Structure 1
Amino acid sequence: MKKLVLALLTGAAVLAAALIPSGPPVQAATPGFASAVSAIKQTSWQTNNSVNALAIAGNTVFAGGLFTRLRQPGKASGQAPEALRSYVAAFDRTTGRPTAFAPVLNGPVYAIATSPDGKWVVIGGDFTTVNGIRRSKIAMFSVATGKLVAAWDPVVAARVKALAIYGNSVFIGGAFRAIDGATRNRLGAVRLIQGDLLPWNPNANNDVYAVDVADNGTRVFVGGPFSTINGKDHYSLAMLNNTTGAAFAFPAAAAIPKPTATCTTRVKDIDTLGDNVYVSNGGDGGGCYDGVLAAQVSTGKLLWQNKCLGATEAIKAIGSWLYKGSHAHNCSSSPNGFPDGTGTHYLLVESTINGNLGPWFPNTDANPKSTTQVGPLAMAGTATDLWVGGDFLHVNGTIQVGITRFTNTPGGAAPAVPKAPTLTATSSGRVYVSYTDSYDLDNLTLTYNVFRGSLNVGSNKYTTYFWQPRKTYQVVDRGLARGSSYTYHVEVHDGRNIMKGANATVKIP
């Protein structure tokens, strides 16, 4: 289970977060941002190639992918000495610096999971050796020591693409047809401590891209381009018994459209939190389903579905927010969503209550020379931070290759500086102060204060998304003396940051 380090928000914080997407957004609270983390990129080292998988254990973040080196924050290739890391690395959650964890692999990593007790980390991918020792597509390390667990050596016949851990079971998904010589078609499980094969055998007829376990351990969710589980129709998504592998009825899975001559979609990522499971999809073909759905674990019932276009590669639920990494280019189907033509929005957040877009708009790019060319590919986080991995080269317009992090450090992104107001004076002693709204990359509702000199003559709250056309509002200032001149400006407040606009002056005729 990739999220394994689950941190709880306080009841007050959960309530405050829940209020924002379920109705008109409210003013940001003290942190200066309205979701669990801000849109400000925090300092962390980089990789020299894509990060495909992330997992957290305590204060350590494990990353796996196609990279072979790490480099310092903000540095381009060749600007500073690089640290060798072959396809897997670990970072300090507090500083973003790499740890000494540096096993030597001979092939890429596509999946990482940490045990609920934080003691073990399991990696999966294409490798066949670790530190010169045979390991067939899967390996386990001690989190405390960073050492390979010598006696733990399941043999997986082909690529491991997904991992999840619950109790003493490691659930494995990928492209393989056997584990330890026994038939296991793309899904299987081994014991966490002993490493021996378990009878869990769901038998998928095509590759598995995502595996996660319900927080209570009673259900295992699997996704990918498969169409059957144990010979029965389960297209792209299934909910399985954690011991037998039998598929439960899962009504929400019907929301994923089956292939047509022009469209194919498949599950890319799965994340569970409480009694909810969140599922992301990516499609081939114009207008195919690329969005996210939420379902109830206990019943399998569909709760909501977001149909933004642009494949969703990674998701992470934190409190009342679902963070998503995608190459979304059209969310016009979502309330207040952006239409095609506003660019690619690689990082977004949705309400876990209804799937509507929330107040978090950092951005990455996608490396056009990478094998994937999609931007974000993996997410991991707690209540205080979110780590994102992928094939990107920049984050928020600055160099940051492969991996980045966002935290709940107070401050957040400041609103855009408001323009000077437009003033119209009348002989009756009135000034009509017209001003355009601003925007903020981690808030939706901002407070606009209009000042005549140092006197606040109008205060209003308005909700804006940065991709929307700017709106114009007006405040009327009365009782002014004829023949006198007055100066006005607008200040925009997001709960912590205040941005002051330029002055404008007018004379009363």
Structure 2
Amino acid sequence: MLLALASVATVAAVGLGTSASAVSIQHSALVGQDPVNWTPHALDGTAFKVLQIGSRVYVGGSFTQIRSASSGTVITQRRLFAFNATTGAIDNTFKPVVDGTVRSLVAAPDGQSIYIGGDFTNVNNVRSRSVERISATTGASVSGFTVPDITGGVDELRLTGNRLLLGGRFQAVGGATRRGLAALNATTGAADASVNMNLDGARVTSTGATSGVKVTGMDVTPDGSKLVIMGNFSSVAGQARHQIAVVNLTTSPATLSPWSTTRYQQQCSPSFPTYMRAVDISPDGTWFAAVTTGAKRTGSLCDTAARWDLTSAVAGKQPVWVNYTGGDTLLSVAVAGYAVYVGGHQRWLDNPNGTDSAGPGAVEAEGIGAINPGTGKAFLWNPGKDRGVGTEDIYPTSAGLWIASDTDTVHGEFHGRIAFFPLPAA
């Protein structure tokens, strides 16, 4: 197995100093298939993101109502709430007021506050477009952090050093053109001009479908040296990069890495200008896993999970392995030591010969599945989850694995938008 297994449950989920914020806790075994019964429920909308800091778990999304697992009382709490990580008790002291969907959460270096990103324009009744820093205890806005105008939604946040990296659908930050990718000062919220990669070339399908340039997924190596971005673009810093690129963060300003591939240049579904959905980098920073949507096309990387090498920064990269769903969307991925977990509304993995059907050797993996990081083959691990739009987030902790989605049933049990799979007892 990979060297990642040596770091079982030792990698911090919160980056400090010059480290990045995106390193996943590593497991030495698969998590169980039966979720715990004590997790609270979001009763409408979608849960998009999970974050744990100490004994608190935070969930962001588009929901407006929640309730505990032990009570029928419905609580109105819109788009962001917190609860105890071991009992599921809802935290009634954490009461942020957010007027739009929360899509990303990142812990601040002080351990006392969190950054939120999404589609909101006001937080705690004060204008704050798409990004805010709030108290991890009360949800109150942190004084001294003020963001410039951001002209669109923020879907991804990553913290590295004192830079808060933003990815999303925005086209400008503080009046300066920043299509899909930008940075803020993590202390003050001021625009940071050191990340200006000039993403361009919005893709257009054969039927004319298009959208603005955007970043749909991104991650930073643990040492903060490299940023992997994916989304609707065809060029970065004036050079051809088809839906995926690697940025060198060690230079000031940031520069484009020679790392490139044309494997995502092909069109998938004519409905999707970009079919890139999520990326997660290994804890040693040497490889990453990427997942896509897009409908099956022979020879393409549509509706797949793929592992990519990061050690050599050269052109013409090819995936180390590819796992095919057979035509179903993947939306989320987590490199978690023993397994690469993938989520979406897929029905199968190991399904290169299936087209909206189970081909020979297909492994059932309804809504969430697990892949061997060394071989790229699916584990026989299938908790069974209502598919819906799909699993939006997969978040490993030292105790197990959280998922967030838009559905209510996992393993035949009611779990409103949130579920937790525990690691087996030692």
State the TM-score, normalizing by the size of structure 2: 0.80
The alpha-carbon deviation at position 73 of structure 1 amounts to 2.2
Shift of 1:185: 1.1
Which stretch of structure 1 is more off in the superposition, 278-287 or 233-242? 278-287
In the aligned structure 1, how far is the partner of 2:311 from the partner of 2:109? 21
Give the SS at the match of 1:364.
Answer: coil
1:3–1:271: 8 Å Cα contact kept in structure 2? no
Give, in whole Å, the separation in 2 of the partners of 1:166 and 1:194. 15
Distance change (3 Å), C-alpha of 1:388 and 1:136: same
Shift of 1:145: 4.9
In structure 2, the CA distance between the partners of 1:307 and 1:118, relative to structure 1 (3 Å rule), is farther
* In structure 2, distance between residues paired with 1:58 and 1:128: 29
Asked whether the 8 Å contact 1:112–1:123 carries over to 2, the reply is yes
Shift of 1:117: 5.8
Q: Distance in 2 between matches of 1:210 and 1:179?
A: 19
Q: Aligned ranges for residues 238-317 of structure 1 at < 5 Å?
A: 238-242=245-249, 243-251=252-260, 253-259=261-267, 262=270, 264=272, 266-273=275-282, 274=284, 275-284=286-295, 289-300=302-313, 302-309=319-326, 310-317=328-335
Shift of 1:7: 3.5
Which amino acid letter does the alignment assign opposite residue 142 of structure 1? S
Equivalences for 1:434-449 in 2 at 5 Å? none
- Aligned twin of 1:68: 64
User: Using a 3 Å threshold, how does the CA distance of structure 1 residues 117 and 239 change in structure 2: closer, same or farther?
Assistant: farther
Equivalences, count: 375
Q: SS in structure 1 opposite 2:294?
A: strand
Q: Describe the superposition over 1:54-75 as per-residue Cα deviations: whole angstroms up to 9, x where unpaired.
A: 2232332221111011112287
Deviations 1:69-120 (A, max 9, x none): 1112287xxxx21122111112322222322322011111122222466343
Contact kept, 8 Å, 1:318 with 1:382, in 2: the verdict is no
1:399 partner amino acid: F
Q: 1:92 aligns with which of 84, 89, 102?
A: 84
Name structure 2 gaps, 5 residues minimum.
Answer: 1-14, 201-212
Q: Partner of 2:152 in structure 1?
A: 158
| Offset of residue 407 of structure 1 | 1.3
Residue pairs, 1:127-138, within 5 angstroms: 127-138=120-131
Q: Which amino acid aligns with 2:303?
A: D
Change (3 A) 1:319 1:118: farther
Q: Are 2:47 and 2:60, in contact at CA under 8 Å, matched by a contact in 1? A: yes
1:19-418 residue pairs with structure 2 within 5 A? 35-42=29-36, 43-48=38-43, 49-73=45-69, 80-99=72-91, 100-115=93-108, 118-154=111-147, 155-199=149-193, 200-205=195-200, 206-242=213-249, 243-251=252-260, 253-259=261-267, 262=270, 264=272, 266-273=275-282, 274=284, 275-284=286-295, 289-300=302-313, 302-309=319-326, 310-333=328-351, 339=358, 345-366=366-387, 373-410=388-425
Separation of aligned partners in 2, 1:349 and 1:3 = 23
**Aligned amino acid, residue 280 of structure 2:** D
Unaligned runs of 5+ in 1: 14-34, 367-372, 412-509
| TM-score normalised over the length of structure 1 | 0.68
CA distance in 1, matches of 2:350, 2:370: 15
Alignment CA distance shift 1:183-1:41 (3 Å): same
- Determine the structure 2 residue equivalent to 1:492: none
Instruction: Give, in whole Å, the separation in 1 of the partners of 2:82 and 2:307.
Output: 31
Residue-by-residue CA offset, 1:267-296 (whole Å, 9 max, x unaligned): 211111222211111114677611111122
Equivalent residue for 2:204?
none
Q: Is the 8 A contact 1:384 1:408 kept in 2?
A: yes
Other structure's SS at 1:141 match: strand
1:429-462 CA-partner distances (Å, limit 9, x unpaired): xxxxxxxxxxxxxxxxxxxxxxxxxxxxxxxxxx
| Cα distance in structure 1, aligned partners of 2:363 and 2:339 | 23
Letter in 2 for 1:231: G
Which has the higher mean CA deviation after the structures are superposed, 242-251 or 97-106? Answer: 242-251
Q: Which structure features the higher share of strand residues?
A: 1
Measured against aligned partners, the alpha-carbon deviations of 1:145-164 in whole angstroms (never above 9, x if no partner) come to 54311221213111111111
Sort the Cα spacing of 1:202 and 1:170 in 2 relative to 1 into closer, same or farther, 3 A: same
Query: Structure 1 residues 223 and 171 mapped into 2: Cα distance closer, same or farther (>3 Å)?
Result: same
Q: Distance in 2 between matches of 1:334 and 1:185?
A: 35
- Hey, what's the Cα distance between the residues in 1 that align with 2:172 and 2:198? 10
Letter in structure 1 aligned against 2:323: N
Q: Is the 8 A contact 1:112 1:122 kept in 2?
A: yes
Q: Are residues 382 and 292 of structure 1, via their aligned partners in 2, closer, same or farther at CA, if it must alter by over 3 Å?
A: same
CA separation of 1:8/1:321 partners in 2, compared to 1, >3 Å: closer, same or farther? closer
- Distance between the aligned counterparts of 2:215 and 2:358, measured in 1? 32
What is the CA distance between 1:142 and its match in structure 2?
2.9
Residue 358 of structure 2 aligns to which amino acid in structure 1? P
Q: Whose Rg is larger?
A: 1
Shift in Å, 1:326: 1.9
* Aligned equivalent of 2:3: none
Secondary structure at the counterpart of residue 354 of structure 1: coil
Contact 1:263 1:284 in 2 (8 A): no
2:113–2:134 Cα contact (<8 Å) kept: yes
Residue identity opposite 2:346 in structure 1:
A
Residue type of the alignment partner of 2:76: L
